[in-house]
Structure 1
Amino acid sequence: MAKITVVGSISTDFVVTVSRRPEIGETIEGELFETSFGGKGANQAVAVARLGAETNIVGAVGGDGFGDLLIANLQEENISIENVERVTEESSGAAFINIENKDNSIIYIPGANGKVTKGSIERAHAVLEQSDFVLIQNEVKQEAVEETIDYCYENSIPVLLNPAPGRPLDESYINKVTYLTPNETEFSILFPGEQMENIMKRYPNKLFITLGAQGVKYHDGNEIVNVDAFEPKELVDTTGAGDTFNGAFAVAVTNNLSIKNCVTFANLASSISIQKQGAQAGIPQLNEVKENEYYEKEWNIK
């Protein structure tokens, strides 16, 4: 069984479903409210764990009741919490998600996630060293992202950076990561003014641009490849689809699939996730993916 470590945020999602967004100063009646477990780090860790890998997470929660629930949820998902710190002076992270017409917009409050620092990563070197693959996102401080990338690069540990939310990154770190998975908006922040095709060609089999319903584009060293998305039977909620993609991609890589098959498997898992409400609620178990009509038996994901 592969060992995958996720470095990232652990939060509570507060989800409001509305028919439209209110204008400034306006109050409208919402259709639905619910809370769920989230944070890009936790979401990706759940995806990795449900798809069959031994999973660790490096992160932080507050000293509040939400922190207790977040930790209990990780344990229930069979995710090691050895490197989850309790930050008593901060609230746990939170995301406020508005769902309109089955799409979403998000306001993110870091809380304790903002206390994941370079020192946090240094204290987690042992678990990183034992990992077959490492995932990280941008819902923790830049210094934590850079320390993770540096350590993985120096120790030849494959590392995937999901640069969400988008923020600039020095080219030296782009060169050090094994895989980079921005969406179109994040791509424009990382490579302002650049043509997508030119940058994909510069980073073959490293840069994977996720395009939602249009699939994923990357350059395979010879040409640009577009891997189509799978159309869901019913689109319910896109929250967490990207996190499912990244977690599934990591699992596929550690199962030694070809790059194109890694993307295809990740697209399939992502398409399943958007058929349920909630970021983590929709993330499929491995058997659910294997039972899907589009799962290829030769992938042999274990």
Structure 2
Amino acid sequence: MQAKVVVVGSLNMDLVTRAERLPRAGETLAGKSFSTVPGGKGANQAVAAARLGAHVAMVGCVGEDAYGEQLRAALVDEQIDCEAVTAVAGVSSGVALIVVDASSQNAIVIVAGGNGRLTPEVMVGFDSKLAEADVIICQLEVPMDTVAHTLKRGRELGKIVILNPAPVIGPLPAGWFPLIDYVIPNESEATALTGVSVDSLASAEAAASKLLEAGASKVIITLGALGSLFADGQSFQHFPAPKVQAVDTTAAGDTFVGGFAAALARGQSESQAIGFGQIAAALSVTRAGAQPSIPTLNDVQSFHQP
């Protein structure tokens, strides 16, 4: 079965604690619950694309440890091609330490572990996976030179290339923009990329304009409950978010990216793909966890606005 969406990125075990609020510096809080959940932005987006109708291959690295085995098994259970998920000796698998507060906001600390071993040399060995793709997705939880290599190969191969610039602390290398079809940051990522404080539709338009000026072809800024903003240098288009009761926002952005990619791989238009991704993301925030919260194609097709 040919992979239509290939995700190059991270696999993390999420160590999730729920508490009444996020701790302040130096403070110890009593948590309400603890769980371990397969995550990582790359793996989350792969699961989202698979559940939402795409044939998916994952390219990434884990450690030779129990978490690595669990992370790979979770993807296999989703019928994701894991031939290019490599176990690396002498390093831990990636982990994400997540605190979720009573209002469903979260704070996350990531330890890269095996994700840092996904090098351009490893990518060369799995070039056939990129060649099979219709859509290639990258994030920034693996080495930057690996992302650069993947973007370049995606463009050379004529694929649709998506970059979810997360996590990010500053502007992207200027040479990346011509290699990317869709840059998809959230509000905080768009703020870090442009210096514009994104907290409204107007400020999102200003940030998108700066990304277009920097060389981006098309920009989608996800805005949580406000929906998303699409910009292509010709116009701005706002897509309102479906109204739902949020429980946990973890992986909502990943669900959007995976759903958007899956819809594009099926041949849907940009507007259709954005709308599809938004319904998927909205459904995800009504459930706890990262990968457990990601809906299926049937869930999205059955969704009716309350």
TM interval, short-chain normalised: over 0.9
Q: 2:298 corresponds to which residue?
A: 287
Counterpart contact for 1:205–1:259, Cα < 8 Å:
no
What pairs up with 1:116-195 in 2 under 5 angstroms? 116-167=118-169, 168-192=171-195, 195=206
Q: Deviations over 1:172-213 (max 9, x none)?
A: 211210111011221233233693253366468611111111
Q: 1:207 corresponds to which residue?
A: 219
The count of aligned residue pairs is 293
Q: Deviations over 1:204-252 (max 9, x none)?
A: 86111111111111225542111111111x2110000000000000011
TM-score, structure 2 length as denominator? 0.91
Q: Deviations over 1:38-66 (max 9, x none)?
A: 00010000001111111100001101111
TM-score, structure 1 length as denominator? 0.92
Q: 2:48 corresponds to which residue?
A: 47
Distance in 2 (alpha carbons) for counterparts of 1:121 and 1:2: 16
Identity %: 39
Q: 2:275 corresponds to which residue?
A: 264
2:8 is the counterpart of 1:7? yes
SS at match of 1:41: helix
The residue identity in structure 2 corresponding to 1:122 is V
Q: 1:56 corresponds to which residue?
A: 57
Moved more, 270-279 or 163-172: 163-172
Q: 1:68 corresponds to which residue?
A: 69
Q: Which runs of 5+ in 1 are unaligned?
A: 295-302
Counterpart contact for 1:53–1:251, Cα < 8 Å:
yes
Distance in 1 (alpha carbons) for counterparts of 2:98 and 2:27: 18
The residue identity in structure 1 corresponding to 2:176 is Y
Match of 1:227 among 239, 243, 260: 239
SS at match of 2:219: coil
Counterpart contact for 1:38–1:280, Cα < 8 Å:
yes
SS at match of 2:293: coil
SS at match of 1:186: helix
The residue identity in structure 2 corresponding to 1:272 is L
Q: 2:202 corresponds to which residue?
A: none
The residue identity in structure 1 corresponding to 2:50 is A
Moved more, 25-34 or 146-155: 25-34
What pairs up with 1:93-112 in 2 under 5 angstroms? 93-100=94-101, 101-112=103-114
Distance in 2 (alpha carbons) for counterparts of 1:150 and 1:253: 20
Q: 2:288 corresponds to which residue?
A: 277
1:29 positional shift: 1.1
Distance in 1 (alpha carbons) for counterparts of 2:231 and 2:212: 6
